[in-house]
Amino acid sequence: MKNSMFYQTKDSVILNYSKIYPKNEIEIINSPYFKEIVADYFEYISNHEIKTKKYLLQNDDMETAVTNFVLFLRKLVVLDINEIHDIYLDDRKQALIVIEQLYNFYRKKLRLGIIEVRDEGSTHKNFINIDTKINQLVLSLYRLLEEKIQGFPNKIYRQLNAASDGCLMVRELNWQNKGYEKLSSISFIESIALRTPLLIHPSSNKRTGSFDEIFENPIQSFNENPNEWLCYPAMIGESLSFLYFHKDFIASGIALANLFELAPKQLYENKKPDLICLFGMQHQESGCKFFYDSDNDIYVGYVAHEKKIEYFGYLKKTALTLHNVSMIRKNKLPIHGSMVKIYFKNGTIKNVAFMGDSGAGKSETIEALRIVGENHIDQMEVIFDDMGSFEIIDGNIYAQGSEIGAFVRLDDLEKGTAYRDMDRSIFMNPETENARVVLPVSTYETITTKHKVDIFLYANNYDDAYGLNRFSNIEDAKKTFVEGKRQALGTTQEVGISTTFFANPFGPQQKQEESLKLIDAVFDTFLNSNTYLGEIYTRLGVDRSSAGLKVTAKRLLEILEIS
């Protein structure tokens, strides 16, 4: 069922609280969306459990059985159990099983509430209170049904998120959208409340394909229902970015909250964005594409509507590709890597940047350094965890980040790391290969401050070596960085040893000529400023163990302390 009140897919439910707001248990039972969820549950059971299917259908057709069961639940809410004469009570044990199954079936979906803001009087506090009351009401309904059937109160109560995993406050806003009028009715997300830790189970767990430049604006092919779309206005670095996504991919849309800074309204109302992403649009050509609108100075990208793009990496990397080609145009060099500012207990401060493609060991090295340097390091500040950009200022290289969060593999983190910060985390398919977590790691002020680069290292995960290697000449350094070699770890479609131009398929690869000029200028500046350029051996493609990484981290710690 897909309308402005209630939007349901196989894996998610979106409730518009502005149009459906039950005030008591019976109003939930009587609502059309409740019947829709019950029907969805019946459909699921009919394909999985013969005994429960027989109990639910009672020799009726599906539609009649759904109506009869909802009527039975209505009786349970309104009447005393002794006043109810219903065939579903003939087997109370099975009735309890069904109530529990229905509740769990609904809770396994990603459930989100939406509140449409129409005036300036609405506050962020109000929308959180509304969502909290809905959760309490659904939990009350579940307990009421359960305890009436079993005939006694529960002894143990678990305060679960019964109704929703979060709530979005949205509103329609004007912006300088000449040529983009088709987007004018799509609501912007103004605030998000998430009930973390959040577990999401997208159908895909890796990204395939490339990011290709096209020469026709995808907005010309955009003919979508605006009620089925939302916009996350993001600050990607200093770029104002309008990330539009179809509600079928709401899981990826809300995960943006842990990755990119949500732009405040005053930064985008009646203003032109630098970047526009259309994620999940109907298009005859599949894949991830980007276009430069020179008339408006906007980079526009799209990802075609396919089941496989449920993987968060599609949305994240499309947005970053748009950002990176924009940076290249501004004479800034995009770096696919990570960077930390390290505060030592002796008062020394060092900024270390790592570069490497997916799975090379950038984030893992930082975490290993945090552990082995416990007695030496006072604090570590993440400047960027996946993508940043270099700029030449007064004869030195300075870096800025793009994201306030990280999208990292659970398998490659030190044991317990993901759970240390799990209260704010969004987990994706945590039980599978390439399981991921999206978690905030830095502040917007920190990532957008310009930080001088003291050490720049290529993350080498393929050589059977330990420690670091400092390049003796600039040409060897450039060759290694530009070749972008790595051992693929199954995070994309690649297998074995692969190479990617400058280890960055998200902009530099598509703009190689322009990037080479920037690379020459940046590396010449590193040479003239005597900056440490080297490669660090992470060994993640050799033995996938953390033992080698710790050895390397210890060597890096020694270099940092003496340099």
CATH classification of the domain holding 369: 3.90.228.20
List helix spans (H) across 306-361.
312-329
Residue whose token pair is 């002020």? 445
Write down which residue in 163, 181, 203 finishes a domain: 163
The C-alpha atoms of residue 264 and residue 191 are separated, in whole angstroms, by: 9
Other CB atoms within 10 A of residue 222 CB: 18
Same domain membership, residue 190 and residue 298: yes
Write down which residue in 137, 163, 189 finishes a domain: 163
Same domain membership, residue 525 and residue 445: yes
Same domain membership, residue 393 and residue 271: no
User: Does the predicted model carry a pTM greater than 0.75?
Assistant: yes
Same domain membership, residue 188 and residue 64: no
Write down which residue in 163, 196, 215 finishes a domain: 163
* Residue 431 lies inside a defined structural domain of this protein: no
The C-alpha atoms of residue 342 and residue 115 are separated, in whole angstroms, by: 42
Same domain membership, residue 108 and residue 222: no
* Residue 93 lies inside a defined structural domain of this protein: yes
| DSSP codes of every residue in 364-393 | HHHHHHHHHTTTTEEEEEEEESSEEEEEEE
* Residue 53 lies inside a defined structural domain of this protein: yes
**Strands 166-171 and 239-246: what pairing?**
unpaired
> Which tens digits make up the pLDDT trace of 161-202?
999 999 999 999 889 888 999 999 999 999 999 999 999 999
Residues with Cβ within 8 Å of residue 270, at least 6 apart in sequence:
174, 175, 176
What tokens does 206 get? 């890796």
* Residue 421 lies inside a defined structural domain of this protein: no
Same domain membership, residue 374 and residue 320: no
Phi, psi of 351 (to 5 degrees): -105, 115
Domain count, the chain: 3
Taking Cα atoms as reference points, which of 286, 289, 353, 299 lies closest to residue 326?
299
Same domain membership, residue 344 and residue 323: no
Domain that holds residue 485: 333-404+441-562
Tell me the mean pLDDT in the region 549-562: 90
For residue 207, what is the DSSP state?
A: B
* Residue 419 lies inside a defined structural domain of this protein: no
Confidence grade of residue 93 (pLDDT, cut at 50, 70, 90):
very high
> Which tens digits make up the pLDDT trace of 220-260?
999 999 999 999 999 999 999 999 999 999 999 999 999 99
What tokens does 156 get? 């143990």
Burial of 119 (0-12, 13-18, 19+ CB in 10 A): exposed
Same domain membership, residue 300 and residue 243: yes
Same domain membership, residue 277 and residue 136: no
Confidence grade of residue 118 (pLDDT, cut at 50, 70, 90):
confident
Same domain membership, residue 176 and residue 131: no
Query: Strand, helix or coil at 5?
Result: coil
Measured distance between the N- and C-terminal CA atoms of the chain, rounded to whole angstroms: 62
CA dihedral for 271, 272, 277, 282, sign (positive or negative): positive
The C-alpha atoms of residue 66 and residue 534 are separated, in whole angstroms, by: 66
Confidence grade of residue 362 (pLDDT, cut at 50, 70, 90):
confident
* Residue 422 lies inside a defined structural domain of this protein: no
Helix (H) or strand (E) segment spanning residue 180: none
* Residue 434 lies inside a defined structural domain of this protein: no
What tokens does 517 get? 């000029």
For residue 469, what is the DSSP state?
A: E
> Which tens digits make up the pLDDT trace of 262-302?
999 999 999 999 999 999 999 888 889 999 999 999 999 99
Tell me, what's the pLDDT at 360?
85
Same domain membership, residue 188 and residue 81: no
Same domain membership, residue 242 and residue 337: no
Helix (H) or strand (E) segment spanning residue 109: none
Tell me, what's the pLDDT at 359?
79
Of all residues in the chain, what percent are helix, strand and coil, respectively (each to 5)? 40, 25, 35
The C-alpha atoms of residue 384 and residue 375 are separated, in whole angstroms, by: 24
* Residue 552 lies inside a defined structural domain of this protein: yes
> Which tens digits make up the pLDDT trace of 1-44?
455 688 999 899 999 999 888 999 999 999 989 999 999 999 99
Query: Residue 197, preceding bond cis, omega within 30 degrees?
Result: yes
The C-alpha atoms of residue 143 and residue 145 are separated, in whole angstroms, by: 6
Q: How many CA atoms lie within 13 A of 377 on its CB side?
A: 23
